[in-house]
């Protein structure tokens, strides 16, 4: 039996239905020479990993050495099983929702299932997503403000240069901006439109102060809290649709895969005409 890491890599590669960029570049917020490449994939695992005893939830690949920070053009890839991705998306996880909204130019791989997933983006959205954005935003603001314990930075070079971790700060504000857009419109525009894009790039370059970043975050937090009560999005995602779609999609995928392998085996043994 193959080593589980190799087996999971094979499942991720062969079963991928959607893979795209999700990092600073797709947001339009990377600085020249500073961005690694963050990608997310979604795959369908074989039946023995769903109804058997084996388990597959995600596969992670980093091109940089273990325990080192990713550098320019390093690849950080996470491939979720479709089942796990769906659970996280229905729960409103901000990062997991991004593949529903990335522009086509940022898509590395997509199949019919991937297209179907993106076409039904609205079914995964609800005010629950707003609560997740709000929760993450509050936690990040409190850490940066020193209210909540825990280290909020591993970038001492930015603290030395600017007095605070500007990358952490811009991620914090970005989360608020995109959460407000999602709850207001049901979409996340990527790359981020102006004037927010220029403001966040300036923050990342250290052209705004820590106090200004915290002030803007506070205002976004208040707006998000209001939208969690009054957003046009439904209170809950369409869980019933998602459950049926998952079942149908896995069955169809397994049937097609089985038919394809059976056809390949039959073709191998048939005599040449």
pTM of the predicted model as reported, rounded to 2 decimal places: 0.88
Domain boundary assignment for the chain: 7-123, 125-234
Question: Under CATH, what is the fold of the domain 7-123?
Answer: Beta Polymerase; domain 2 (3.30.460)
98-123 tens-digit pLDDT: 999 999 999 999 999 999 999 999 99
Residues 3-30 have pLDDT tens digits of 578 999 999 999 999 999 999 999 999 9
- The C-alpha torsion from 140 through 123 and 39 to 202, rounded to 10°, is -40
């Amino acid at each position: 039996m193959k080593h589980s890491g190799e087996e999971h890599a094979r499942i991720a590669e062969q079963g991928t239905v959607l893979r795209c960029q999700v990092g600073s570049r797709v947001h339009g917020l990377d600085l020249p020479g500073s961005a690694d490449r963050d990608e997310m994939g979604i795959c369908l695992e074989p039946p023995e990993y769903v109804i058997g005893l084996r388990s597959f939830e995600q596969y992670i690949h980093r091109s940089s050495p273990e325990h080192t920070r990713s550098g320019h053009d390093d690849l950080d890839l996470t491939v979720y099983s479709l089942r796990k991705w769906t659970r996280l998306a229905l729960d409103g996880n901000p990062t997991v929702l991004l593949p529903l909204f990335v522009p086509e130019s940022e898509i590395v791989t997509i199949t019919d299932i991937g297209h179907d997933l993106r076409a039904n983006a609205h079914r995964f959205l609800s005010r629950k997503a707003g609560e997740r954005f709000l929760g993450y935003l509050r936690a990040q603001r409190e850490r940066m403000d020193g209210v909540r314990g825990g280290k909020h930075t591993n970038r001492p070079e930015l603290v030395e240069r600017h007095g605070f971790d500007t990358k952490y700060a811009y991620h914090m504000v970005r989360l608020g901006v995109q959460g407000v857009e999602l709850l207001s419109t049901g979409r996340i525009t990527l790359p981020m439109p102006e004037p927010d894009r220029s403001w966040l790039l300036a923050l990342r370059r250290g052209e705004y102060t820590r106090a200004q970043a915290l002030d803007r975050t506070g205002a976004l937090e208040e707006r998000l809290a209001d939208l969690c009560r009054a957003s046009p999005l439904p209170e809950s995602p369409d869980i019933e649709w998602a459950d049926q779609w998952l079942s149908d999609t896995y069955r169809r995928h397994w049937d097609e895969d089985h038919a394809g392998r059976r056809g390949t085996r039959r073709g191998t043994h048939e005599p040449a005409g």
